[in-house]
Amino acid sequence: MLSTADLKTKIEAAIPGTTLKLVRESLLLENPNDLLKVARFLKESDLGLDYLSSVTGADYLTYLESVYHFYSMAQKSGPVVLRVRTDRQNPQIPSLTALYRGAEFQEREAYDMYGIVYEGHPDLRRVFMWEGFEGWPMRKDYQQEDSETLEMADVAWLENQGVKVPEPIKAKAEELEKQGKRALAQKPGQPEPQ
């Protein structure tokens, strides 16, 4: 198995125009559009990295990242870690499903949690959260609902079901509605060090 630095020079020599960067023990692909070419090289060259073990997302506040772990079943080598970065506003990365069928659900998971759009994915929809869920819950700026405070949607739903909602709870929900706010969760801060 080549070292990460040797792998970098090998890939860059084989695919002209590709620039990689060493990040800790992994390779960062500078241009996401080269991803399919690089993955195809990893799979079909003598490296024989035929098994894509994991596709994950990560949020680094200023950018989103998709991380790939490649192994070779034939040569019993790996992992080769490949990172691809994309911006937060319009995160788009080419899908590897055409090359590695196993990437399908993992890309769906990364889409579900981080909102990374994998272009060319055959069936990109939520996998853990339900249809109609809004937001990307694993992103660092995700704001969670406050599960102790009812909002007007809850009150209307309950009254539609014939459940009587106590007055203070209803008044609170109406006030939130008037202010145009959502009830957001608050979590206690860290305990004081003893």
Partner 1 sequence: MAFSPNASQVDDGLKSELAKKGIVVTTLNQLYNWGRRSSIWPMQFGLACCAIEMIATACARYDIARFGAELFRPSPRQSDLMIVAGTVTKKMAPQVVRLYNQMAEPKYVITMGACSIAGGPFIDGYNVLRGIDRYIPIDVHLPGCPPRPEALLYGLMELQRKIDGQEIETTEWYQKGLKREYPIPDFGPHGLIPKFNPEVWNPRETENRKERYGEPILIGRKDKAPNLDLPPAPPRSAAPAPAAPPPEPAS
Longest dimension (CA), the chain: 71
Q: Which is nearer to partner 1, 14 or 127 (CB)?
A: 127
Q: Which is nearer to partner 1, 1 or 23 (CB)?
A: 23
CB of 155 to partner 1, least distance (A): 8
**Residue 18: strand, helix, or coil:** coil
CB of 158 to partner 1, least distance (A): 5
Q: Which is nearer to partner 1, 3 or 76 (CB)?
A: 3
Could you list the residues that contact partner 1 (CB under 8 A)?
A: 23-24, 59-62, 128-135, 137, 140-145, 147-151, 153-155, 157-158, 161, 163-166, 169, 182, 184-192
CB of 35 to partner 1, least distance (A): 18
Conformation bin of residue 111: beta by default, left when phi > 0, alpha when psi is -120 to 50: alpha
The neighbouring-strand residues paired with 58 are 65
- What is the C-alpha to C-alpha distance for residues 15 and 39, in angstroms, rounded to an integer? 11
CB of 22 to partner 1, least distance (A): 10
Start-to-end CA span in the chain (Å): 49
Q: Which is nearer to partner 1, 24 or 125 (CB)?
A: 24
Which is nearest to 28 in space by CA: 7, 43, 50, 14? 7
Structure tokens at 186: 């608050």
Structure tokens at 94: 């080419």
Q: Which is nearer to partner 1, 1 or 60 (CB)?
A: 60
Q: Which residue is listed with tokens 């109406």?
A: 174
CB of 144 to partner 1, least distance (A): 5
